[in-house]
């Protein structure tokens, strides 16, 4: 989960806070999870990634630089809660973040199977229960 707030932008429609329940958030003019009408932005300008207990900002292809607390950066950097990031004419700050645990269908089925297999349950009983769940 990444919670960020746009604090300044030529796009008045994005001056609010956003929560994304993903580990990778793409921000740009016309591609990604958050579109900002800022003529200084590229279609995909920046990617924010949660990696365990770190939040990393990645400039995308052809992005020369961005600012963290007013200081120029051109490579991926770790950022902290409360820091202000500037891309184009848009500024935002990170309010909170934590890694989002992504469960695959296999993980979910394994968990369900674990709850059905108890002691001496027969394999057929487990398969029948799983088949009913899938329907």
pLDDT value, residue 128? 73
Query: Residue-wise pLDDT tens for the chain (135 aa)?
Result: 999 999 999 999 999 999 999 999 999 999 999 999 999 999 999 999 999 999 999 999 999 999 999 999 999 999 999 999 999 999 999 999 999 887 777 777 777 666 665 555 566 666 677 677 776
pLDDT value, residue 104? 73
Residues found in the chain: 135
Asked: is 2-97 a CATH 2.60.200.20 domain? The reply is yes
pLDDT value, residue 111? 72
pLDDT value, residue 108? 72
pLDDT value, residue 119? 53
Q: What is the 3-state secondary structure (H, E, C) of 85-124?
A: EEECCEEEEEEEECCCCCCCHHHHHHHHHHHHCCCCCCHH
pLDDT value, residue 120? 54
Any idea where the domains of the chain sit in the sequence?
Answer: 2-97, 105-134
pLDDT value, residue 76? 97
DSSP string, 42-101: -SS-EEEEEETTEEEEEE-TT---EEETTEEE-S-EEE-TT-EEEETTEEEEEEEE-PPP
pLDDT value, residue 135? 63
């Amino acid at each position: 989960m990444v919670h960020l707030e746009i604090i300044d932008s030529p796009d008045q429609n994005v001056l609010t806070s956003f929560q994304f329940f993903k580990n990778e958030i793409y921000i740009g003019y016309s591609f990604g999870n958050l579109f900002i009408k800022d003529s200084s932005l590229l279609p995909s300008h920046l990617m924010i990634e949660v990696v365990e207990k770190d939040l990393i900002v990645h400039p995308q292809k052809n992005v020369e630089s961005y600012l963290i607390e007013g200081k120029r950066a051109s490579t991926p950097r770790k950022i902290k809660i409360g820091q202000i990031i500037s891309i184009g004419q848009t500024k935002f700050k990170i309010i909170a973040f934590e890694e989002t645990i992504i469960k695959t269908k296999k993980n979910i089925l394994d968990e369900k199977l674990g709850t059905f297999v108890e002691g001496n349950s027969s394999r057929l009983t487990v398969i029948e229960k799983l088949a009913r769940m899938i329907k």
